[in-house]
Amino acid sequence: MTRTSVLLLLAGAAFAQQPPRPPQFVSPEVSADRKVTFRLHAPSAEAVNLVGSDIPNNGKGAPMTKGAEGVWEVSLGPLAAGAYRYQFNIQGVPVIDPRNPSVSESNNNVWSLVVVPGSENIDVRNVPHGAVAAVTYQSSALGRTRRMHVYTPPGYETSKAKYPVFYLLHGASDSDDSWSSVGRAGFIVDNLIAAGKAKPMIVVMPAGHTTRGGFTVPGGADEFARDFLGDVMPCVEKNYRVRTDRGSRAMAGLSMGGGQTLSVAIPNLSKFAYIGVFSSGLFQMFGTGRGPAAQAPKGPTWEEQNIKALDEAGLKKGLKLFWFGTGKDDFLLKTTQQTVAMLRKHGFDVKYDETEGAHTWLVWREYLQGFVPQLFR
């Protein structure tokens, strides 16, 4: 190496403000046998826990052990191949991993993200890759700019063809980033297309929350439907080369997004030929013991409100797939079962898989891998 072919340029300002350099270590460290070691330098902490909803046996947090130089450590696994959100908790303060630049956005916060390789469908492999774009649009329904993520498949950019569109909705603890980060949706569709298992398609991942920092609360489902039907879909159909016939439109969502899928797609059944509901159903505010305290709304049930759409036989013919999947350990299992039964009562040919697993991204990535190959056939 010659002396002055070396260009060493430091963004010095940032460095000047760092505290004295902490010990050298890597976190997270993923071993070949899919064990993951998490480490945090916190010399004055009295206790540090690892938290993350999808980490097996993690429960209320795995206690970490303090080692040399104030570095806390815990190893988990072997973990199933996939991606995991995690944080450290230091005496009540949630802390993302300062050594890990990979993150996954949620609705109100950010998680550190570790990817455990070993899955043919999920890994970032040497196959043609599409692109996942953050797209800003003006929501006339909400009166502000909003963001969605849009996956375009390999070859889209230089093709002249029109593509089918899959609208894929996130859950209450997510943002429009989540399916692309922890959900690995772009890489999963890349791999399925490369293997000839899925048709090239555009995947639109809109923002499900209509109030910053809030759940879908009374009015929220309507707000989402207005934004989705009045802004998201027109924006996509104006700006991308997409097919707009019913057979070229699919919609699915997980948890909150599954409920939103039903609330949008059933009253607009002429627009969608494929519907997926992951770990979800029609979830009433009361009766589960999990909702925040709020005044009980009154009036007709969802079924009563949508009775005309539910009983319109003609539109059921063009519905090529209506799929539900929920894990046996999911707290929404009964909700799913009741929703499936109600829809079948109205003559829908619902496919329902009761799988292993709970209300986690481990399950939702599996559902995506099963759902996508069935689309646009």
Query: Furthest-apart CA pair in the chain: how many Å?
Result: 78
User: Which is nearer to a copy of itself, 315 or 358 (by Cβ)?
Assistant: 358
Stretch that binds a copy of itself, among 281-289, 314-322, 342-350, 365-373 (CB under 8 A): 281-289
* Gyration radius of the chain over CA positions: 23
- SS3 category, 163: strand
Among residues 166, 302, 324, 376, the one that binds a copy of itself under rule CB under 8 A: 302
Candidate ranges 74-82, 216-224, 308-316, 341-349; the one touching a copy of itself (CB under 8 A): 216-224
Distance of CA 267 to the CA centre of its chain: 24
Of 116, 359, 372, 375, the one binding a copy of itself (CB under 8 A) is 359
Sign of the CA dihedral running 185, 188, 190, 192:
negative
What is the C-alpha to C-alpha distance for residues 113 and 333, in angstroms, rounded to an integer?
27
Which of the stretches 96-104, 114-122, 226-234, 243-251 binds a copy of itself when contact is defined by CB under 8 A? 96-104
Q: CB-based contacts of 191: which residues, under 8 Å, 6+ apart?
A: 120, 121, 122, 123, 125, 127
Residue 361, helix vs strand vs coil: helix
Q: Which residue do the tokens 């969605």 mark?
A: 148
In sequence order, which residues have a C-beta less than 8 Å from that of residue 310 and are 6 or more positions away?
266, 303, 343, 346, 348
Shortest Cβ 377–a copy of itself spacing (Å): 26
> Looking at 32, 158, 196, 314, which residue binds a copy of itself (CB under 8 A)?
158
To a copy of itself, the closest distance from the beta carbon of 317 in angstroms equals: 27
Q: Verify binding: residue 293, a copy of itself, rule CB under 8 A.
A: no
If one asks whether residue 316 binds a copy of itself (CB under 8 A), the answer comes out as no
59 counts as binding a copy of itself under rule CB under 8 A: yes
Binding flag, residue 345, a copy of itself (CB under 8 A) = no
Q: Is 229 in the site for a copy of itself (CB under 8 A)?
A: no
Contact (CB, 8 A) for 348 and 298: no
- Is 171 near a copy of itself (CB under 8 A)? yes
Q: State the minimum distance, in angstroms, from the CB of residue 110 to a copy of itself.
A: 5
Is residue 191 a contact residue for a copy of itself (CB under 8 A)?
no
**Looking at beta carbons only, is 123 or 372 nearer to a copy of itself?**
123
Backbone angles phi, psi at 314, to 5 degrees: -60, -40
Is residue 313 within the footprint of a copy of itself (CB under 8 A)?
no
